Structure 1
Amino acid sequence: MNQSDTSERCFRIGLPNRADALSTSIAASYVGIMAFMAVASEGSFAKAGERLGVGRSAVSRNVQKLETQLSTRLFLRTTRSTQLTREGQRFFENCHQGVSHLVEAMNDMLELREGPPRGLVRISSTVGFGRKVVGPLLEQFVKAYPDIAVDLLLDDRPMDFASEQIDVAFRSGRIEDSSIIAKQLIPMQMALCAAPSYVAAHGLPQTLDELCQHDCINFRLSSGRVFEWEFKVDGHVRKYLPTARLTLNDADLVLHAVLQGSGIAQMAGYQIRDHIAANELVVALARHVPDDGGHYICYLSRRHLPTRIRVFIDFMTEQIRALDLNCLSGFNAEATGPSAAGMAA
């Protein structure tokens, strides 16, 4: 290889190396470019410093570093004026569009945080709570906030906020994930119920030990695991996995089977409240209903919440609490003995 070939090869290799060196100092380049754009726009180093909130000397120093980095003179400076060179004018025109996009991007982010609510809110909820509680409220929400789009995902498995891009999640039970903010909407009541027709034929269990004598209906979770019934005994939670004649993987089907008199099942208060009020269901063992669970609205952080997410959280919190989903207030919660059968008749 002759000397000219070597020189040409070094030149070809040197170009990308020079570009790489420029990219590694992008932070310094950005400061210099901002100073340059301010001077070019104001026509003065002093006025540029006032605009940027720094001293004239700092502006001059950053512009000089940029000129050194580019190996190009950008300004013609005299005691009376500051003018762009031809190269400076070209650099200004090339930078102007990019800077405008940056400003627009920052303004857009600020508007999402402080401006009118708009954009997409992606929500996840368990199937039963989503159908019965969240879903019916969404129509009101989108009417109140027409610039917000809602994407609701119903799934009984816990969904990952990051990988599945969830903004807000509705979760039930006991929240043990310390990485999220969990705001309790209402207490979670899991009540053991039966239809009056079942009570008339079989009665109701008076103690936990009598559960094995009844036709139980189980709910299978999306994980494949069968949901364990929970009861509060002497201040502690006691779990019970019944031997069931019927196992279903849909909460609405479990409710339907109980209403038809097929057996007893433990179900969430929001699901059975109206049926209890209408005397279509009777509660058994109400004194053992656990009280340490809840229905929660969850999100990742309180900081920097976009307006659309803040208004969604506030709206759902207010509306769900106003629904009064407590299933054991003022109905037939204590009808656990022979009187329940009489009432059913």
Structure 2
Amino acid sequence: MSKIQPPPGSSDHQDLLASSLSASYAGVVAFITVANEGSFSRAADRLGIGRSAVSRSVQKLEGQIGARLFCRTTRATSITREGELFYQNCRPGVDQILQALEEMRDLREGPPQGRLKISAPHGFGRKVVAPLLAEFRARFPAVTLELLLDEGTVDFATDGFDVAFRDGRLDDSQIIAKQLIPMQMHVCASPRYASQHGLPDSVDDLVAHSCINQRLASGRLQSWDFKVDGQKRSITPDGAIVVNDPELAMRAVLDNQGLAQLPAYQASEALRDGALVACLEQDAPDDRGHYLCYLSRQQLPKRIRAFIDFMTTSIRALDLCGIELTAQRIHLPAAADAAGVPA
């Protein structure tokens, strides 16, 4: 009675396959090396093992396939007809393995190349990351880029991302999180809105103002975070306008529609040139940081290392934080005059 073979895909079949490959691998390597070198002794020297170990591996392989691969005499070793056929069948697979190893060596030692999949939040991705991609591609033309904007949690293994930009650290001890710049938040208004409605002096005063809220991908409204008298405080003010994109929130503020809490990377330029003014700076929340996240520091492909180094240097050079805003609140009328707004 013939032995019933387990069906393909079953755990028993996989165990049988793994056992067969494990038992055959050393024998195939030994066989290919003997065939190339023309003798067991030279094959042993090439592999860095004893001649007897090479001989045992080949003998075990011959037992597995039921054929003699070499004719051995005290003077010479020659390959049999069956050995030649087996060599011809094995050689393409061995060449593919050698090519794969060579390509991995090129990825480590040659210029950066290959595909890079990147995740970033919508606001930071559009405002900061996307404008830098052209320069990165100019420096590393062999690297192809895929940028996906998403506010959700990144699953590197499932989603296939190489790097991810995130506001705040990811709660995963397996992920390396490198801080790029601080994440400062500012409650902003246009000079015209400020001149017409004033600005809040405390967090509680926000109830008297038109506020612009942002809806997250999860469906909930994004809270406004503060630190009042040393204590963290989060509120969700009633929204005169609700949007699901940071740029739309910024646009509404510039259009004199109300107040919004915006990250410094987004509002810094408008704050510096007077298109926006800030308030409640005394209650600004703690810095959460903008991070560049990836899986491991060890054996990092050159394309990922090049991208991390480039983005770290380039983003820090943009001067998207460190804005001195304390004088803006005091000199608000001057800011309004400069913007052509009647005080």
After TM superposition, the score normalised by the length of structure 2 is 0.91
What does 1:47-86 correspond to in 2, within 5 Å? 47-86=42-81
Question: After alignment, is 71-80 or 230-239 more displaced?
Answer: 230-239
Are 1:329 and 2:323 an aligned pair?
yes
Q: Which residue of 2 aligns with 1:105?
A: 100
Question: After alignment, is 227-236 or 59-68 more displaced?
Answer: 227-236
Instruction: Report the alpha carbon displacement of residue 24 of structure 1 after superposing the two structures with TM.
Output: 3.4
Separation of aligned partners in 2, 1:174 and 1:73: 61
Q: Which residue of 1 aligns with 2:225?
A: 230
Q: Is the 8 A contact 1:283 1:334 kept in 2?
A: no
Are 1:343 and 2:335 an aligned pair?
yes
Q: Which residue of 2 aligns with 1:7?
A: none
Q: Deviations over 1:112-163 (max 9, x none)?
A: 2332211100101001101100000000001111101000001222232222
Q: Is the 8 A contact 2:27 2:61 kept in 1?
A: yes
* Matching residue within 126, 137, 140 for 2:135: 140
- Name the aligned partner's letter for residue 329 of structure 2: T
Q: Is the 8 A contact 1:206 1:336 kept in 2?
A: no
Separation of aligned partners in 1, 2:320 and 2:182: 9
What does 1:269-280 correspond to in 2, within 5 Å? 269-280=264-275
Cα 1:175/1:292, change in 2 over 3 Å:
farther
Q: Sequence identity, in percent?
A: 51
- Name the aligned partner's letter for residue 317 of structure 1: T
Q: Is the 8 A contact 2:228 2:283 kept in 1?
A: yes
Instruction: Report the alpha carbon displacement of residue 15 of structure 1 after superposing the two structures with TM.
Output: 9.7
Instruction: Report the alpha carbon displacement of residue 71 of structure 1 after superposing the two structures with TM.
Output: 2.1
Q: Is the 8 A contact 2:189 2:258 kept in 1?
A: yes
Q: Which residue of 1 aligns with 2:340?
A: none
Q: Is the 8 A contact 1:284 1:334 kept in 2?
A: no
* Matching residue within 232, 241, 244 for 1:246: 241
Q: Which residue of 1 aligns with 2:312?
A: 317
Separation of aligned partners in 1, 2:187 and 2:18: 66
What does 1:249-288 correspond to in 2, within 5 Å? 249-288=244-283
Question: Runs ≥4 in structure 1, deviation > 3 angstroms?
Answer: 13-17, 19-24
Q: Is the 8 A contact 2:224 2:261 kept in 1?
A: yes
- Name the aligned partner's letter for residue 329 of structure 1: I
Q: Is the 8 A contact 2:268 2:323 kept in 1?
A: no
Q: Which residue of 2 aligns with 1:131?
A: 126
Instruction: Report the alpha carbon displacement of residue 178 of structure 1 after superposing the two structures with TM.
Output: 2.2
Q: Deviations over 1:245-279 (max 9, x none)?
A: 11111111111111111111100101001101110
Separation of aligned partners in 2, 1:271 and 1:62: 65
RMSD of the TM alignment (CA)?
1.9
Structure 1 unmatched ranges of 5 or more: 1-9
Q: Is the 8 A contact 1:195 1:280 kept in 2?
A: yes
SS at structure 2 position matched to 1:319: helix
Q: Deviations over 1:270-328 (max 9, x none)?
A: 100110111011110112222330101111122221111111111111100111101x5
SS at structure 2 position matched to 1:141: helix
Instruction: Report the alpha carbon displacement of residue 175 of structure 1 after superposing the two structures with TM.
Output: 3.3
Q: Which residue of 2 aligns with 1:117?
A: 112
* Matching residue within 149, 163, 170 for 1:168: 163
- Name the aligned partner's letter for residue 194 of structure 1: A
Separation of aligned partners in 2, 1:253 and 1:333: 26
SS at structure 2 position matched to 1:171: strand
Q: Which residue of 1 aligns with 2:20?
A: 25
What does 1:150-165 correspond to in 2, within 5 Å? 150-165=145-160
| Matched positions, count | 330
After TM superposition, the score normalised by the length of structure 1 is 0.91
Q: Deviations over 1:33-90 (max 9, x none)?
A: 1001111111111110111111111111111111122221111111111101111111
Separation of aligned partners in 2, 1:224 and 1:15: 55
Q: Which residue of 2 aligns with 1:6?
A: none
Cα 1:232/1:174, change in 2 over 3 Å:
farther
